[in-house]
């Protein structure tokens, strides 16, 4: 694939993978992106997952012909991008390895070599001339590892963005960018919003025409759309108006109450109502929805004196990703003791800028007339 006349794609599609990072369902596979920059000197940008090393080297050779690369730029040391450094180093013994100081330390840890005699150490403000163009480097610590650098091709105005602007899915997947990019962002980068904002500020100072991430498609048009979404996500803003309901139910009584609340919200004109059964849905999808919408209702049962395990898992997933800036309502169910709301509130006590609804729903076993009134009041408050 040709990015420009002098920048070629040499990455691979992984259609064998079922769980990315051992936890994220990727029904449409994954792309591990790598690029070759052709100039007087040649730079290869990152490697790919270990299982595709041979295919990756063949891709490079098909682009270079008889030429040899001068540099391998290692922007990020996660093994899905760095596993073939040794393979590259053996295939091209004259090539230099370009990376941050922390990346070279990690190379030794992962692969037993830091290439001391071939190192080109770069950091914030470093540059590398390829002859007809200059590569400018910026650090992007904790987006989402500490060693990360991004690279800007000053001639063709291309940003090689490491894991920033990445998404799940192989490049031949026919799917909406935002959905899987959002799930990727909040699953993997979401904790580091402050650091992602710092990277966006650096990017804002550049004239960028193309973004080449390490996962997902190359972005060439309407870059403002992608950058704006990234800004919303990393600042924990509200992307879409609506209410997300996250629930668990043991014998179906909490589910019935949730379904009634969703019905009332729609009747009152709520622009969007999304319901997630935490025991059955993809938890990463539920996390994505919680950060997408401005209002959320947590509905669960008292279980072992606190809250149902899937709700506990969900709240932990949110809070460790800096959940904030939302309106929150609660629905609890308990037969001999109502304890769930107490523990849900406790789980959220360190989250910033949460506004709690005055109305709440407190069910003892099954809905009664009072609970229906509580649901009506909660729906009314959420739709104001």
Residue 331's pLDDT is 98
Angle of helix 177-184 versus helix 223-234 axis, rounded to 10: 30
Return the residue matching tokens 């599609």.
Answer: 13
Mean pLDDT by 10 residues, the chain (384 residues): 96 96 95 98 98 97 96 97 97 98 97 95 98 97 96 98 97 93 96 97 97 97 96 97 97 97 97 97 96 98 95 97 98 94 97 98 97 98 94
Under 8 Å between Cβ of 337 and 304: no
Tell which CATH architecture fits domain 241-382. Answer: 3-Layer(aba) Sandwich (3.40)
Residue-wise pLDDT for 156-204, tens only, equals 999 999 999 999 999 999 899 999 999 999 999 999 999 999 999 999 9
CA distance 102 to 123: 10
Under 8 Å between Cβ of 86 and 113: yes
Mean pLDDT for the chain overall: 97
Q: Where are the domains positioned within the chain?
A: 2-234, 241-382
CATH of 2-234, one of 3.40.50.150, 2.40.50.140, 3.60.15.10, 3.40.50.1370: 3.60.15.10
Residue 1's pLDDT is 84
pTM attached to this predicted model? 0.93
């Amino acid at each position: 694939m040709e990015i420009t006349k002098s920048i070629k794609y040499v990455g691979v599609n992984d259609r064998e993978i079922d769980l990315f990072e051992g936890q994220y369902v990727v029904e449409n596979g994954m792309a591990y992106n790598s690029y070759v920059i052709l100039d007087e000197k040649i730079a290869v940008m990152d490697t790919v997952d270990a299982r595709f090393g041979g295919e990756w080297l063949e891709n490079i050779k098909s682009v270079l012909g008889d030429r040899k690369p001068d540099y391998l730029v290692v922007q990020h040391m996660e093994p899905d991008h760095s596993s073939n450094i040794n393979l590259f180093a053996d295939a091209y013994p004259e090539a230099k390895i370009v990376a941050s100081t922390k990346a070279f330390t990690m190379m030794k840890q992962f692969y037993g070599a830091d290439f001391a005699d071939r190192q080109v150490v770069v950091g914030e403000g470093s540059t590398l001339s390829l002859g007809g163009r200059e590569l400018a480097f910026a650090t992007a610590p904790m987006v989402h590892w500490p060693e990360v650098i991004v690279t800007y091709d000053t001639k063709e105005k291309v940003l090689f963005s490491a894991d920033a602007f990445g998404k799940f899915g192989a490049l031949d997947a026919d799917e909406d960018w935002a959905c899987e990019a959002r799930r990727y962002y909040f699953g993997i980068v979401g904790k580091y919003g402050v650091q992602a904002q710092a990277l966006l500020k650096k990017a804002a100072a550049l004239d960028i025409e193309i973004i080449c991430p390490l996962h997902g498609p190359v972005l060439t048009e309407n870059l403002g759309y992608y950058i704006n979404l990234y800004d919303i996500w990393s600042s924990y803003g509200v992307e879409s108006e609506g209410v997300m309901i996250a629930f668990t139910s043991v014998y179906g009584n909490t589910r019935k109450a949730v379904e009634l609340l969703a019905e009332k919200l729609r009747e009152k004109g709520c622009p969007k109502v999304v319901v997630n059964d935490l025991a059955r849905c993809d938890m990463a999808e539920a996390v994505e929805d919680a950060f997408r919408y401005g209002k959320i209702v947590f509905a669960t049962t008292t279980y072992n004196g606190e809250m149902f395990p899937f709700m506990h898992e969900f709240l932990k997933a949110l809070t460790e990703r800096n959940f904030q800036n939302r309106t929150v309502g609660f629905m609890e169910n308990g037969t001999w003791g109502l304890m769930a709301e107490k523990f849900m509130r406790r789980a959220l006590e360190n989250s910033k800028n949460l506004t709690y609804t005055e109305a709440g729903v407190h069910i003892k076993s099954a809905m009664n007339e009072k609970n229906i009134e509580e649901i009506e009041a909660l729906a009314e408050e959420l739709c104001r």
